[in-house]
Amino acid sequence: MREAIRALGAVFFAFVLAFPAAGAQKERPAAKPPGTAIASAHQLATDAGLQVVREGGNAFDAAVAVSAVLSVVEPVSSGLGGGGFFLLHDARRGRDVFVDAREVAPSSVTPQSYLDEKGELDRDRATNGPWSAGIPGLPAALVHIAGRYGRLPLSKSLAPAIRIAREGFPVYARLADGYRSRAKVMERYPGTREVFLADGDAPEVGELLMQPDLARTLEALARNGFDGFYRGEVAARLLAGVEAEGVRWTAQDLAGYRVREREPLRFEYDGWNVVTAPPPSSGGIALAQMLQMLEPWDLAKLPEPQRVHLTVEAMRRAYRDRTFYLGDPDFVRVPSRLLASAAYAAGQRSTIHPDRATPSALLSGAPTPLEDEETTHFSIIDAEGNRVAATQTVNLTYGSGFIPRGTGVLLNNEMDDFALRPGTPNAFGVMGYEANAPRPGKRMLSSMTPTFLVSDSRVAVLGTPGGSRIITMVLLGILGYADGLAPQQVAALPRYHHQWLPDVVQTEAGALAEPTIAALRAMGHTVATPPPAADGRSSSYVWGNLQTVMWNREGNVLEGGSDPRNPVGSAKVLPAAPRAR
């Protein structure tokens, strides 16, 4: 399978361009990239981003266009009714910034809101319908990024999304399959039926999905900015829609939503500066812990069982801390600096046995299930050296399944990312306590980890969906780049994961060789190996949808990598127009 995934990468994405600029200098690293590279999970989104660059936009305008088109063509993964994190590098100001557009809990939430009469977690409320939805953040992010960092008006950068929402796009397998898996919930709601059953039956591969209400909502956003979504007619429909299902959002819940600009989390690994997601993402701190724990070992030179063992032990320790310490920094004191420090990692490292698994029970807890995944990531580098790493989501497949009538906006089910009942695992099998307890206006802890890797010679942008497995996929991607792999190879890398609890090494089908699995078991690891599916790439047995771009300043080459597990993804490079260079 490992070979199969690599081969798929080569076959599906052989068209990905990599080109040296004319007259590229070998000796001195180039100061500016030779064009714009975009990798996203849908080719219509990649093309929309390149289109706005041709119209004079920069990476940030492209990000708005890509994000909005993904909202239209991947409702299964992300959308205006959800949220996301946008890591930006503004080349002119020489500044990195993390735009946090995570959803927040509505003002009506209480510690009891998601408990049944017996005090157990009410999983229907946690993951289905308007109870499960946080106040959306994505529309505010688009307005913020366009206004503060872009060059084009929203009317231009949102134009492709508006057109595709109105004219439709062909349904692909992941949309149709996802719909079938969520149909029971989605069809509870008239607003959702009006969109997905407009022609009388469920979306089928190849037919056009048109979303005229969503086109109008996007137009309101383009025309009126923040107020186009969070105040006025769209807001009124959102409020009426949730109220019709017995849930209370106030006008102030919407009008009071704000994105936060945060300082990204930074640390060094093996000659790379890693710039990544701070809380309320758990990703950056976990990456800092894992990579700094692993730094003294030359992983590439170790035999596979040893390499996987050490990596798994680092994963286990980082996910344990996630459970207890991480949450919204606007509400709880997160000891970020300590947890992400080299000294703390050294302490953690000293508890790793060189060839024995540490049972997670020594660090405590109970086994939990994992569900499969949606969410989306895109990566951009433009000819000015600006960069965007963005991961956006409605959480589980088709989010809450609920569209308030007349808006076209499918709401997220992000409330499940809170520790709704202390110590009870969520859909990804991760749990939490006070630090991630739900409170009005609080952001739920996330695993989304948009990341930049910067060395003297190379700059890479990467990220992926995958719930709690996002962080370990980004970890493996970084290790891949550190080993000298190209972007397409990084996107195709086979994956394994450990999250402290359940105390199991999860693997993609065929990701680890049989002798490695046997050796890991002999060290005391429980390794779950799913049987290969008939088509070899069933979504239960492969994870993630990693999208990455890299600028190699030696030789001035831009390259993209798009996850071969997703056949509609696309990484492309557009040469800089002569006037822009």
The set of catalytic residues is 375
Give 36 or 395: the residue with its C-beta nearer to ligand DON.
395
CB 420 within 8 A of CB 512: no
Nearest approach in angstroms of CB 390 to ligand DON is 13
Q: Which residues bind ligand DON (CB under 6 A)?
A: 373-375, 393, 395, 414, 417, 446-448, 465-467, 470
Give 253 or 373: the residue with its C-beta nearer to ligand DON.
373
CB 506 within 8 A of CB 469: yes
Helix (H) or strand (E) holding 165: helix 159-167
Give 220 or 448: the residue with its C-beta nearer to ligand DON.
448
Nearest approach in angstroms of CB 469 to ligand DON is 7
Q: Which residues are CB-contacts of 477 (< 8 A; sequence separation ≥ 6)? A: 462, 464, 490, 491, 493, 546, 548
Give me Rg for the CA atoms of the chain: 22
- From CA 86, how far away is CA 546, in angstroms rounded? 15
Nearest approach in angstroms of CB 446 to ligand DON is 3
Give 30 or 277: the residue with its C-beta nearer to ligand DON.
277
- From CA 580, how far away is CA 57, in angstroms rounded? 11
Nearest approach in angstroms of CB 312 to ligand DON is 20
- From CA 117, how far away is CA 104, in angstroms rounded? 26
| 416 Ramachandran zone, left/alpha/beta (phi>0; psi -120 to 50) | alpha
Q: Give ∠ CA 449-450-456 in degrees, rounded to 5.
A: 120
Residue type, 566: N
Nearest approach in angstroms of CB 76 to ligand DON is 10
* Coil/strand/helix, residue 556: coil
- Comparing every residue's Cβ against ligand DON, the nearest one is 373
Give 146 or 396: the residue with its C-beta nearer to ligand DON.
396
Give 157 or 397: the residue with its C-beta nearer to ligand DON.
397
Nearest approach in angstroms of CB 241 to ligand DON is 22
CB 73 within 8 A of CB 49: no
Report the length, in residues, of the chain.
Answer: 581
- From CA 532, how far away is CA 152, in angstroms rounded? 48
Nearest approach in angstroms of CB 418 to ligand DON is 11
Give 386 or 539: the residue with its C-beta nearer to ligand DON.
539
- From CA 125, how far away is CA 179, in angstroms rounded? 19
Residue 14 CA from chain centroid, whole number? 25
- From CA 322, how far away is CA 286, in angstroms rounded? 7
